[in-house]
Structure 1
Amino acid sequence: MKALLQRVSSSKVSVNGVTVGEIGRGITVLLGVIPEDTQRDIDWLAEKIVNLRIFDDEDGKMNLSVSDVRGEILVISQFTLCGECKKGRRPSWAKAAAPEFANEMYLKFIDAVKKEGIPVAHGQFQAHMAVDIQNDGPVTLMIDTKE
């Protein structure tokens, strides 16, 4: 699994002009699924994101997690994170999971984050989405469960 995290002051995702997911302070997670992903990847990634200390404490140091600040998480499926751009001019999607499997893993990831006690909003799988991200910092991190 690949996850691009952005610490946000707010974020929302819309489909056809209708907001389907929205959060205040927290983390927007763009999630890419590969065919080799397992429940172990889901559990590890959910725990990692929820406990990652990327929010400022009273001294301005990144020492607090989304859980500590009572933040929220917005999860958006993003198969393009699995794109390969080494050869040619057009990205290859060969390493991205098939849609049925990717959707299953995406939903399991959302459930895993909820089990960590964090409010979760999400996008709509396979929809063309407009994502509004108010990046805070900016703080942007990439996590790959296979690295």
Structure 2
Amino acid sequence: MTAESAVAKVQEALAAAMEHDGDKACALLKEIALDSDTDRMFGVCRVIATAGCKATAKMLGDRAPDIAAGDYYALELAPEALDDPARVFSARFIAAIANEEPATAAAYYEVLLAGGPQAFIDGVVQLLADVAGQCRALLDQMEAGSG
């Protein structure tokens, strides 16, 4: 699978997740993962997170943090989410990508990998689900006429 076809499959998986078709989204992620090494999957995670970052920035408009001026994104997790490694990974990874901190994102990714295959799957699926939620929220805002 070429990098371009992997990106296209990521986009298709995100679209499926936004339409609440988890089976299709997971099947596409699995297809990507089976044809990828850990470096490519890091890139896949970055592509997914970047889509969420762009959606969030668009929703916030002029209230979005100005990274160049030293502002930063922070994501809060509900207390019960702190016990879920996949949710913690997703939130931290998205924030690192939004804040243009690739080394931090890479460190979170390495921790996810070290957790083993199931933790890795859970983390990537959670990332996709969270970003799909961000993108869906943007579309809802746009449809309501406030975006």
TM-score, normalization by structure 2: 0.29
Higher strand proportion (structure 1 or 2): 1
Considering Cα pairs closer than 8 Å and 6+ residues apart, tell me whether 1 or 2 has the greater RCO: 1
